[in-house]
Structure formats: C-alpha cells, structure tokens
Structure 1
Amino acid sequence: MDNELLDKLRRGDETLFPPETDADHRVIEVRGNGNVGNQAGRRGCRGVTVGGNSALHIVATFGHLELAKRICDIDCSLLEARNAALETPLHCAARAGADQIVFLFISKVRQGEEAVLRVTDRKGKTALYAAAEEGHDEVVRILLSKDPELAGIVDYNGVSPLYAAVLSKSLKVVQKLVEVLGDRGDAPEASYAGPKGQTALHAAAIVQSPEIAERLLQWKSELVKKVDNSGSTPLHYLATATNTYMVRQLLKDGRSTAYYSDCEGFYPIHIAASMGSCRIIHELIACCHDMDELVDNKGRNFLHIAVQENKLMVVKYVCQNRELAKMMNAQDNHGNTPLHLAVSSQNREIVRLLLENKSVHPSIQNKKRRTPLDLAITKIDYSLISLQNPHIWIFHCLQQIGAIYGPQRLDRLIYDSRRKDIDIARQNLDNEQKKYGSTAKNLVIVSVLIATVTFAAAFTMPGGNIADDHQNGGTPTLARKYAFTAFIISDFIAFLCSLMATIWLMYAGSLAIHHSRRLELILRSQYFISIAAQSMVAAFALSVYVVLAPVNSLIVLVVFIFAFPSVLLCSPDIWQRFRLTMTIQRRLGWSTILCKPCVIGRPFGLGTESFNWFIFGPIVYYLLVYILIFGVSLILSIKHLHFT
C-alpha cells in the first residue's frame, strides 16, 4: 500500500471509494489461511501495509464509518482478513471503541458464520476482550447481544474479558459482563479467570477499585475466598496497599480470609507488616483481635516480619499497643525474638524502640543459646569503634541496660568474632586500603580548607591597620582589645590543628603504612579537625564582636547564640550519646542510671566511670577549647597591661 493511499485511508477520504465504484474492483486476494497477502503498493482496497493491515483494518482503527461501509460493499470477505498480529477488522474497531463500525461488521456477518466473532488474535484475544481491555462499554454491549458466549472465552494466558475490564477500571464494562454472566446462571470459572489462578476480584484489589469490588461481590460473594496459584486471596493483594476502605469491604464479606495463609505461610497481616502499612494492620486487628497469634511457616509473627524488613512505623505501632505486648518476646522456629532480628540487622532505631518498651526481655536465648548481646558482640567491626556505628551503639545499649550473655565463655565468643573479622579483612585487604585512602582524601580537603582560611585571616585583621605615617604603623588598630587577642588565639589554634591533621592524613593515605596505623591516624585527624572547626567558628564570632560590638550589639548577640553551640550540635557522637542515654533512661529511669556505674568505657570492659561523665564528658571536652582560648587570651591581656 503506497503512502498516498494510506494517508487518505487514515484521514477518512471518502473519494477513494465512491458509491458507484465499478464491480470489477471488488476482487480481493485472500490466502487460504485467512491472512491478507503482502501486496504493498497496490491501489484501491487490494493492498496491505507492512503490518498486514488492509484498508478495512485501517478505517476500522480510525473509526471512519462511511468508508467502512463502502469497503464492505466492495468486498465483505475483508471482514475475515487478518494482519500480522492475526487481528481482524473487528478487533481493530472494538479496540478503537468504534461501536457503529462494530455494529456494521456484525450486521454483515451472514447466518451460520457467527464464528468470525470468536476469532482470536496472536495472543488469543477476541474482539470482546479487546473492547473490555480498553473499557469501551457500548462495544461490549453490542458484541454480547450478538454472542453472550464471548464472555467465557479466555486468552492464551487464561485471562477472561471480565478480568481485563477490571484492570481497565471500567465499571460500566464490568456491569455489562456481570449482567450477561449472571443471566447464564452458574458462570464457569473461566468467565472471571485471570493469570496464575487469579480472579477478577484479585484484579479489583490490584487496581484498588472499591466500586468494581462491590459489584463483583454482589454477583459472586465467594470470590473473596478464591486463591491464586501462590495461595493468595484478594485480601493478600490489598495488604500491600493502603486502601483501608477496601480491606473493610472484603472483611465484611469474608472475615475468615484474614486467616488464610499463602504458600509461604504469610497471612495478610504479615504482608501488611512487610510493606510497613500500619493502617491495614490496624484494620485487620480491629476486625480479628487474635492477629498477633498468626505465624508463618518459619514461626514468625508480623512483628518479626516488620523488624526483618526494617519497617520502623510498624514496630512503633506494636510497641505503643499494650494488647500486643506478648508479641515482643515471641520466638520463631529458630528461637529468635524480634530483638534478636533487630540486633542481627543492626537497625539502631528498631533496637531503640524495642528496648524502650519494658515488656521486652533483652536476655532471651535462641536455639543456639545466643542472647541479643551475644549477637551484638559478634557483629562488631573492630576497625570502627565509635558510637556513630550501629553495631557499637547497639552493643553499648544492651550492655548498659543489664542484658546478659548466653551460657558460654565470653573470651571464646570474642575470639571467634575477631577471627572472622581478621579473615574477612585479609580477603578484602585491597578494599580496606582503598577505604582508608578514600577517607583520608575526603578529610584532607576539610583540613586544608580550614588551614587556608585561618592562614588568610591572620593577615586580614578585623578593624584594619594603623596608617604607616603614625606610631606603630601597619599594626592592627584593635590589637589592645581582649576580644582581638582571643580572635588571634582561636585562629592560631584552628590553623595549628588543621595543619597537624593535614600532615597525619598525608601519612594515612600512604600505602607504605600498616592499615592499623592508618586507621589510628585517621581517627586522630578527625578529632583535631573538629577542634579546628570549633576554633574557626570562635574566631569568626570574635571578629564580628570586635568590629560590630560598638555599633550593633544585637547582631553580635545573635552571632554568638548560633555560632558557639553549632559545632556541638553538629557532632554525630554527641547526638548518639544523647540518643543512647534517652533510650536507657526510658527503660531504667534517671534515678537508676545516674547512680549506677557506666559500663561503656571500653568495648568489653566494665568501666567504673559514672554515667554522668558519659553524658556530660563530651560537653566538658567541648568547653575546654573555649576555656583554652579565653583563658590564654585573659592571661596575655593581663601580662600586656602589666608591662605597659
């Protein structure tokens, strides 16, 4: 078919086939298998496109009724022609929603040739399926009025027109199909079948259409209990979403489906927990109060699933619901409680929520005689001993609240975990070297930046310099002020600490140094960089004070309020100490933790320091920098006054 003819057919140019078309042009070559031969380039209605579409296919697709009539008058056998996808013109018209053309094609079908209505394409889809898939209700009505049996013909994947209509979210099509199927009495399963054993109600749950679900349940209420090949009911599919209205709708028609498990033993509440849907969990528990007793094939309740999938909000919901308290210490087939799983996954937030709940027992043993504290100690990475790392935080939290080890020698447990770490480190030595090198490169950027800024600040004095033709020309005009002295001291400390950190990081990035020594240099550099940053902030605030205090004290006050606590608030270690303290406080209370010894002094030691020092110690270290700055400045100012 040439381009000019194709364009005219698509536009619906009626001059192509005038009513007085000569009868000699009515011959259309159709092959024995019903496919139109590839006669590209021929004129009239004899040609086809590269996709095998005849002129009738094209006008049906674009909805040109008058042209369709004239082509049918020329050669009605084109109704049986198929394109490369084995679609007839009726398929094209049905998919396009051209109801008048569909009616025309049906009227052209002679008595005894109704089988053309049931012709399927390459995927096994009838014209009714195509119309239902696109949501064309009027086309569906016309086809069903001619052949109601079409509603029971599935495609090659076992999908019925009703299932396809539900996926298209067309309530009108669903109603027409259900009406026809309802008139036939007991409709076969094929009439509402879907892929992999699903039903039309499964599809309604997937697209979350309560109106369609309600109509299907009115037609066949038993659909709510039908399971697919994986053992899942429609409620299982709804549990993955947040549509609480449909959950109530299905539970109203089949409360027992909440107790149906799939092939893996998952109940709807397990699926809701794995998706983090607290609203669905709440609806299921409100309808069935014993949901907390349901366990899967591995003996896990829905709290186990939520912990394993790191669904924080579900864990929080359970912890806040006293009626679910017995779930806290439930053990699965391996003897693991939710706390065991949380420690194994190193989820700090979930461990915090569980330990803040006093009904959680932190020392339950699993079938391997391991307590959560045993699991925590085996998870420790000995190259990352810092509260910023979840495994250290979890271990210290369990240790401080009084959790105990299992019935085995602690030295053996520590030795086994360390030996595993050493073996892993040897296997991944190249990765370890790259990790240290990358860390050193990132830190050295910060240290060099601070060193550059503080070096420049030493020669750009606030307040300017005395003119050269005056006494002490070229010296700072504000040199005699105490705040200026403090500025110089803080700038010097920042420069010195950043310079030392830069040198250490230079060595830390060298492959010639052992990785344990490189780690030590990196940790030391981090500490000095934090001091440098703290001193640089102090230098900035003091320079603002020196320049603006005489004219605008309010701005100076605002700068001081935000500048000095900023470094403290940005310290991750401070925040983790605070979070750890609050977790322990919620479980033990202030009166207990402030009076008991702190066991967080060393990873495995029994520290004797007070918990007060653990809480306030970092703040004291933080304040020491400012004590050094202002103390030295005060001494220098006094000495200067004494000599003058």
Structure 2
Amino acid sequence: MAVAGEGDDISKAKGDRAMPGSEWELRMDNTLLMALKKGDARTVERFFSRAAVLSSEVADHALAINLPDADNNIVADGEAGRRTWRGVTEGRKTALHVVATFGHFELAKLICTRDSSFLRARNVAGETPLHCAARAGADQIVSLFISVARQQEDRSWLEAVLRATDREGKTALQAAAEEGHAAAARVLMSADPGLAAIDDGNGVSPLYAAVLSGSLEAVQILIESESPAEGGQQDGTTSASRVAPEASYAGPNGQTALHAAALRHPEIANKLLDWKPTLVEKVDDSGSTFLHYLAATPLEDAVRQLLERDTSTAYLSDCNGFFPIHVAASMGRRAVAIVLITHCNDMDELVDKEGRNFLHIAVQFDEPAIVEFVSRQPLLAKMMNGRDYKGNTPLHLAVKFKNQKIVSLLLGNRRVHHSIINKDGLAPIDLAITQREQGLAGAQGPEDWIIQCLQRTGAVFGPRRLDPLINQKANEPDLKKELKKYESTTQNLIIVSALIATVTFAAAFTMPGGYRADDHQNGGTPTLTRKYAFAAFIISDVLAFLCSIIATTWLMLAGSLATDPSRRVNLILRSGPLILIAVQSMIAAFALSVYVVLAPVSIVIAVVVCVLACPSLLLSDTELWQRLHLERTVKSRLGWSAMNRTRAIFRAVAAYLVVYVVIVVLSLFYFVKH
C-alpha cells in the first residue's frame, strides 16, 4: 500500500481537489477524527509521531510496517496507511478542515506547521480549510491561514487561498457573510478587499449574503473597507487587491442587496442607502425597485424615510406597469398608501399597462380598506369614476368579481356614477345581469343582491335592448352543471330534514317531566299534561315532525332521475321553507321542554333559555342580513327617504314570528278545551 510521506504535498497529486479513487486519498482514523473534533492535542500529537515512521518509503513501493495504535495494539501493515493523520473523512475533509470547522486554533497551527499544503486541500463540497474557518467564524484561524499562505515562496499562494471557490462558486468571504461572522469577514477584507466584488455561481454577492444574515456589522465591513494604497503591493495583500473594485451588491433574479434588506432589516437598508443612494433605482428581473418591495410590507415608516430622501422611485413601474402605489393597494397596505399619497399628490393619476389606477387594483384584489379610504377622500374623487383602457370603472370590476362589500362601499358614495358605460356598451347593471347564474340559484346570492342594490340606487341599463341581454345566458343552460347542483342541494337538504324528523319523533316518546306510575289512575301518561308550556311543546314537536316529513318526501322526488328538471327546482324551492319551519319548531320544542322542567324551580333560567333559543334562527338568517346590508347601502347614497322599502324586512321578521304565533294559538286552544 502506498503511504504519503511527511513532506508530500497532498494537493500536488489532486490539483487542489480530493479526487475520488485517488491513491493518495487515505481514510482518516476514527480516533484521530474524534480527537480533532474535541481539540485533544495529546492524541493528535501521538498520531503525528507515527507519521515519522510512515515517512520511510522505498523508491518504487511502500514500506510495509507494523506500529501500535492509540491503545498500543499492533496495527497490521494493511491498516497502516489508513491510520495516518493525512487521511480524509467520508466527506473528504482533511485534519485541517476538521479543526477549522470546530475552531481549534492551536491544532490548526500545529497542522499548518507540519504541512502547509493542507491549506489548498478541498473536501467533497470543494471547500478549503479557509472556507470552514470562515463559516465557523473562527477569525483567529482565518488570520493564521492567511499568514501561512503569505509566508510561502510562491507569491500566488495567497491569492489562490483567499480566492478559492467551492462547488457553488463561493469564496471564504461569502461563507463568513452568509453566517454573519463580522470578525472573520474583517480579516478577509483586510487581506483582499477585492473579495467583496466576487459573486458566486448563482450571481449572489457577499454583501447580499451578509444582508440576509442580518449582520449590520458584516455589511458595514463589506461596504466601508478601503483598498490598500496604490504604488506597490503591500505585505499581506494580494496583487489583485492593489486597486480593489467596489463591493458587489448583486443578488439572485436581478435583485440587489437593498431588495433583500427591504423585507428584513430596515437599519441595514438605511446603511446601504447611505453607501450608495442609486440603489433605490435598481430593478430586479420583474422590474421591481426597492420601493416596490417596501410597498408590499406594513413598514410605512421605512417608506416615509425613503420618500423623504427621494420621491422619484414612486414613479417607477415594474414589468406589469405596477407602481408602488398599485402594489400597496393590491396588498391592502392602507398606511403605506397614505404615506405615498401624502408625499406624492398625483398618485391617483398613475395607471398600469391596462390603464387601471390603484383603486381598480384594490377592487380586483378585494381590498375594501383601500376602497373605503379612497371613498372618504374628496381629493381622490376622480378615481371613483376612473376608466381603464376597456372603459371599466372600479364599480364595473366590483360587479365583475361579485364583491358585495366593495359594491356597497362604492354605491354608498354619491360621487360614484353607477351608470357609466364601458367600451363593450355595458353599464354596471348590464354586467351584473350577464354575471348572474341561471338555474338553481339562491334568492339572495351575490349576483341578485348586486342587481337589487344597483336598481334600488337608481342605476340604469345601457342603451341597448334588454331582452337579448337578459336572455343571453338563459338560452345557454349547462345541463351537467345544473344536474350536479340539484344532486348536491338535494343531498344536503334531505340529510337535515331526515335528522329533524328523527329527533322530533324520538322527542314525542321522551316527554319532559316523565310519566305517571302504573298504579296511578292515568298511569303511563305524561305528568305535566295540565301545564300550558307542555301543550306548546307537543304542538311544536308535531309541527316540526310533519314539516320535516313533507320536506323529506319532496326532496326524495327531487332526487329521482325520473323527475323532470323543472319540477325538481320547484320541489327543492318548496322544501326549503318547510325545513326552516321544522328547524324553528324544533328550537321552540327544545326551549319549551327546558321551560317546563325548570320553571317550578328557577323561572329566571327558564325564561333566559327561551329568550336565547327562539330568535337564534332569525339571527342566522343570511337573507335578512343581506337585506339589512342592502338598505344600509341605499340609505348611504339616497338618505332616509329611500328607506320606505324596509317593509320587506319587517315582513321577513313577521313571517318568522308566524310560526311562534301558530304554536301559541294552537296550544292555547288545546289548553282551554282540556
């Protein structure tokens, strides 16, 4: 077996790389590896003493020897090569890589004294020991390696060590910057300021890496370090660093270090701006500036500070034509938008490639906070009716995206013209009609609500015939979609109705208060039959059971393939109110059963249960809340005089109370008769 001698340069045969399968690639002893990691100098020196024996070579073949291991056991000649301190780990790390990684300065010094060629050895990732020391933040070891490289007769050694790159193209300076090790970065920059100008294989600069690490000190070192004075190479510097280029600020995808600082570290961003103010104008591959990045964050103070420096970047658009104000609107950053508008009073005039102002964007991205802010600013009133290149106003877009809240905000503002016609000849109400789904639709779906809201606020159709517009989609039914809708609706409703029928059926045989004993004159009968609340409980339970049974039957017919689709719709629509009555009656039955049991001992609790239970269904009535929302929008635009149609709301409430009135009347009739 060939054994490396004491003075052999391990890099010479490898060309500064640990080549797989090389005859020089020896396996490091596990005992030595553990000693190197722990910094056990005594064990390491014992391995060094063996090297003197292993250095004896024959000209054409290796000398076979036996020598004691760490435990004084004899090692066979086949194991001798693998026991040398020059071996490497599975990751092809040499002893110098290991001690550099763990920051053992004395051992690093000892190994360098033994063989300085280890400085140029590389592990499987292409890293030199200097990379490992820099990444570990071991600035003393970094300084040691530079000093050893400087002492070599070959003057190119220092540059080769300092500027060596790993497989990803990263220098030792970038390794230190990634980890935020300012001290190690300072040592490297002192030796070669030009390192700050070297990007890795992905176009990432050390400065960008330092920003990502969040180390302000490391950033300062990279941007403030001065090059050595011209007029001759100074001791401790490379020839390439005599006139060092300016530090690179490049990042991936065309970003700069300032882009990286936008979302993470405002202090670092300020430091970069002080160093190079022109960074604010640099754009990434998407055309985004630093202000575009800031506008997407809630950092309004950072935006304010930037605009106080220079407002010009507020007028730079990205590849989509988005200005920073558009970005803030799309993200709902109300505070940032206010700062932009305060410092730049013509933000309302900026439009993207489709001619949309930032209010259009806020509507498109469903950001009601921005819409509400604009609607309250008289100076921004022009935006409310601004048209894009297709003639669409923000109201057109709100109708298109079926956004009830934003439609309400816009229509509630009297400055909004609700009948503007776009280039397709459609007013907002025309667009709402075309957006309306045909077939089985909820009575208060978003499309119907928007149409009603537009009609109630006085919106008019465009100058065209109404019948083609209204019948446009009615003549194009999607039968498969409608059938799936029928099946889904039927399944959901029939589960509810069947559940109500089951519960109310069981309740009829589990009477509150229990039954009389068998030895009683009326044995087996409910004990509370003479109470009015009990009679009301029975009526409520029966009403819920009957309505749910009828609804279940109709839904079974609606789910049958033999039933005509038009009849299916009628059956489903008719079963809906019955299920609501059944639910309401079941709630009443629950409240009355609790009242019957608790009233004799605690009338207060009994009444509270009834008060909480009875209006619960009314409070969960989405249709009622939709109507209230509609009336509020109408009132905001037209005033109280337009509220005469609130009778529909009172009718809905009255319809809800009818069920309870029926229960009360029937119960009273039964109680009086018996």
The two structures have a TM-score, normalised by structure 2, of 0.85
Q: How far, CA to CA, are the matches of 1:635 and 1:559 in structure 2? A: 24
Distance 1:27 1:78 in 2: 20
Which of residues 217, 222, 226 is equivalent to 1:177?
222
**Are 2:300 and 1:266 equivalent residues in the alignment?**
no
460, 463, 467: which one aligns with 2:513: 463
- Residue in structure 2 matching 1:151, options 180, 193, 196: 196
**2:97 paired with 1:57:** yes
Change over 3 Å in CA distance of 1:221–1:181 after alignment to 2: farther
What's the counterpart of residue 114 of structure 1?
158
Asked whether the equivalents of residues 273 and 280 of structure 2 are also in contact (C-alpha less than 8 Å), the reply is yes
The Cα RMSD (Å) is 2.4
Aligned to 2:613: 563
Q: Which residue of 2 aligns with 1:633?
A: 667
The equivalent of 1:413 in structure 2 is: 469
Superposition pairs for residues 210-609 of structure 1, below 5 Å? 210-420=266-476, 422=477, 425-426=478-479, 429=480, 432-594=482-644
Q: Which residue of 2 aligns with 1:8?
A: 35
Is the Cα contact below 8 Å between 2:430 and 2:462 reproduced in 1?
A: yes
* 1:615 is the counterpart of 2:670: no
**C-alpha separation between the residues in 2 aligned to 1:274 and 1:614?**
37
Contact 2:223 2:247 in 1 (8 A): no
Q: Find the aligned partners of 1:505 and 1:240 in 2 and give their Cα distance.
A: 50
User: Equivalent residue for 2:73?
Assistant: none
Matches within 5 A, 1:7-46: 7-18=34-45, 21=49, 22-23=51-52, 42-46=82-86
How far 1:387 sits from its partner (Å)? 4.2
Distance 1:377 1:27 in 2: 96
Distance 1:569 1:86, change over 3 A: same
Do residues 194 (structure 1) and 251 (structure 2) align?
Answer: yes
Match of 2:121 in 1: 81
- 1:17 is aligned with what amino acid? V
Contact preservation (8 Å) 2:194, 2:246: no
Report the secondary structure of 2:225's partner residue: helix
- CA shift digits 1:331-385 (9 cap, x unpaired): 0011001110111111111111111111111111111110110111111112243
**d(CA) in 1 for partners of 2:244, 2:317:** 27
Per-residue CA shift, 1:556-588, capped at 9, x if unaligned?
A: 221121111111111111111111121112212
Q: Does structure 2 retain, via aligned residues, the 8 Å contact 1:433–1:511? A: no
| Residues in 2 aligned to 1:67 and 1:526: alpha-carbon distance in whole angstroms | 84
Distance 1:631 1:64 in 2: 93
Q: Is the 8 A contact 1:23 1:74 kept in 2?
A: no
Q: Which amino acid aligns with 2:671?
A: S
What is the percentage of aligned positions where both structures have the same residue? 60
Measured in 2, the distance between the counterparts of 1:27 and 1:352 equals 92
Distance 1:507 1:189 in 2: 81
**1:523 Cα deviation after fit:** 2.8
Change (3 A) 1:158 1:466: closer
1:592 and 1:166 map into 2 onto residues whose CA distance is 59
Residue type matched to 1:316 in 2? E
CA distance in 2, matches of 1:189, 1:160: 12
Return the offset for 1:245.
1.7
Matched residue SS, 1:418: coil
Sort the Cα spacing of 1:114 and 1:375 in 2 relative to 1 into closer, same or farther, 3 A.
same
Q: Is the 8 A contact 2:427 2:460 kept in 1?
A: yes
CA distance in 1, matches of 2:31, 2:227: 49
- 128, 136, 142: which one aligns with 2:187: 142
Deviations 1:589-637 (A, max 9, x none): 222230xxxxxxxxxxxxxxxx244222211211111121111222233
Bigger share in helix: 1
Q: 1:633 to 1:234 in 2, by over 3 A?
A: same
The one-letter amino acid paired with 1:393 is W
Deviation of 1:250 after TM superposition, in Å, equals 1.4
Structure 1 CA distance, aligned partners of 2:451 and 2:226?
A: 63
* 2:529 match: secondary structure: coil
**Given the superposition, is the C-alpha separation of residues 25 and 245 from structure 1 closer, same or farther in structure 2, using an over 3 Å criterion?**
farther
Q: Which of 152, 163, 178 is equivalent to 2:208?
A: 163
**Cα shift at 1:40:** 13
Over alpha carbons, which structure has the higher Rg?
Answer: 2
Bigger mean CA offset, 121-130 vs 211-220: 211-220
Q: Distance in 1 between matches of 2:229 and 2:208?
A: 18
1:477 offset after TM fit, Å? 2.8
Gap runs ≥5 in structure 2: 1-26, 58-78, 231-242
Count residues with an aligned counterpart. Answer: 607
Unaligned runs of 5+ in 1: 29-38, 595-610
Match of 2:175 among 122, 130, 135: 130
Superposed CA offset, 1:418-477 (max 9, x none): 234x1xx14xx1x54444333333322322222122112212222333333333332223
The farther-off stretch of 585-594 and 170-179 is 585-594
